[in-house]
Homo-oligomer: A and B are copies of this chain.
């Protein structure tokens, strides 16, 4: 489904690959980096003995011990606050927040400290730390387990925001994130943690942060998305192909820093854009994207940039999730609307 075009492996030689889910790819990235670099530690609620509620840290404690795979008390602010202290003094913490719906208590440490330390100290203190968190809907859980809060981290500079949509990118981007000298918020699309497998190189490699991927080329309209929505966009593209509409599917992969160049080039080519995300529509990151496109390509646009997003409501409980989440048909309808503008 994805081209390897934008993916850069460490080694020049073709590496052996294996078929992995996103959850396994995430785990392997951590395992490989812990192997390479003794300063990498993993911490969070239930990441140790339990192996993580989504098994994304499965087996790590057996392999690296409880000093490097640290089960923490139930305290999100401490998970990030301790990581700040550790990252500032020579370690590379990979912290897990169990669900993005529980990141709120950690916001003060994330946006008050993690994102500011380099700037505050004029580069004296840097914080190489990763904050992993599953996000998004589609698994029918109780409230607070389906949220997509990326927008709140994108008006607050100093923290990179990365979102893979497939196993290859998950491993490569997480590896890049762990090696990054700055804090990286790493959002994992929990709905597709185990939905499918794809070929992933067995050794370490990186996918560069800050580069979008043109997953599927097309001429008539650009679909811009990230995370679990990318697959839904592919479904929509397929559907539209049957109507002879050629859809370009763009997987942003990194939301900050945004790969404007790739995005604007695509929309300049197609003249139409639809942004798809799970977060509520108003002031979601889709607004920023539409604003940028409008600013740079006003005269090239054949139709308004449309947004297919969550509604401006609290993420509904399981029974009404389907009403909320963007789906193939909503995306297709938006595409048709831009075509008939």
Contacts and interface: CB of A to CB of B under 8 A. Distances in A.
A125 interface: no
Contact of A280 (B157, B294, B298): B157
Interface in A94-113: 104-105, 107-108, 111-112
A151 interface: yes
Given A108-B105, A287-B287, A294-B290, A279 B155 contact: yes
B107 A151 contact: no
Instruction: Indicate the member of A144, A155, A289, A307 with the most B CB atoms within 10 Å.
Output: A155
A323 to B, nearest CB: 14
A254 B40 CA distance: 46
Contact of A295 (B119, B256, B280, B304): B304
Contacts of A77: 105
B155 A313 contact: no
A304 B314 contact: no
B112 A144 contact: yes
A280 B156 contact: yes
A120 B143 CA distance: 9
A256 B281 CA distance: 13
A333 to B, nearest CB: 15
User: In the complex, which range does the number of interface residues on chain A fall in?
Assistant: 35 or more
A35 interface: no
Given A104-B111, A111-B104, A112-B144, A283 B287 contact: yes
A332 B305 CA distance: 27
A186 to B, nearest CB: 18
A155 B157 contact: no
A239 interface: no
Contacts of A144: 112
Given A295-B304, A304-B295, A284 B155 contact: yes
B152 A155 contact: yes
A329 interface: no
A314 B157 contact: yes
A158 B314 CA distance: 7
B143 A152 contact: no
A286 to B, nearest CB: 7
A184 interface: no
A116 interface: yes
A303 interface: yes
Contacts of A112: 104, 144
Residue from the set A108, A256, A289, A292 with the largest chain B CB neighbour count within 10 Å:
A108
Contacts of A312: 157
A84 interface: no
Contacts of A245: none
B283 A151 contact: yes
A19 B186 CA distance: 52
14 contacts: A116-B314, A156-B280, A157-B282, A157-B314, A256-B282, A258-B282, A283-B283, A283-B288, A286-B291, A294-B304, A295-B304, A295-B305, A295-B306, A298-B303
Which 10 pairs from chain A and chain B are nearest by CB? A290-B291, A104-B108, A151-B155, A294-B294, A154-B283, A287-B288, A152-B152, A287-B291, A155-B283, A287-B287
